[in-house]
């Protein structure tokens, strides 16, 4: 099973791109996720985790997520590799977001509870092809 659940704050506004092959929307952002335990006398440490979101999930992220906002997500861990412009092999580990949620209250939060619920309903649509029988 490959399932990741994270809650953290966006380190910058989501970056929107489109694939060159079929012009599919893809959004990149990074979450600062606090580590659970802190040794006495030390500052809290955070991990900075790269997130990628596709299609409608990415569209939602690009529209409503902003730098500093606290969000939660469910997704899967993915690794990939490519050769950079100098021919050097680059390895990337990232989380592919499958479900995204608002986790904190913000006075600048533009998305309403209704918009969040509509997004969750869209993500939970089940078709006959999804059924195992």
> CATH number of the domain at 4-36+45-128, please?
2.40.50.140
Mean predicted lDDT score pLDDT of the chain = 85
What are the domain boundaries of the chain?
4-36+45-128
What pLDDT was estimated at residue 42? Answer: 80
Q: Residues 21-40: what's their mean pLDDT?
A: 90
Convert the pLDDT of each residue in 46-93 to its tens digit: 999 999 999 999 999 999 999 999 999 999 999 999 999 999 999 999
The predicted structure's pLDDT at residue 104? 80
Mean pLDDT score, 113-131: 55
CA distances 129 to 23, 110, 112, 126, 133, Å, are 25, 35, 32, 8, 9
pTM of the model as a whole: 0.74
């Amino acid at each position: 099973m490959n399932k990741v659940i994270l809650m953290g704050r966006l380190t910058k506004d989501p970056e929107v791109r489109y694939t060159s092959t079929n012009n599919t929307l893809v959004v990149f952002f990074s979450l600062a996720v606090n580590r659970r335990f802190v040794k006495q006398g030390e500052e809290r440490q955070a991990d900075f985790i790269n997130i990628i979101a596709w299609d409608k999930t990415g569209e939602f992220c690009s529209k409503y997520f902003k730098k500093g906002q606290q969000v939660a997500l469910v997704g899967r861990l993915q690794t990939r590799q490519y050769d950079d412009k100098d021919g050097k092999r680059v390895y990337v580990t990232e989380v592919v977001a499958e479900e995204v949620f608002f986790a904190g209250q913000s006075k600048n939060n533009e998305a309403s509870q209704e918009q969040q619920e509509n997004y969750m309903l869209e993500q939970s649509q089940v078709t006959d092809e999804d059924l195992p029988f």
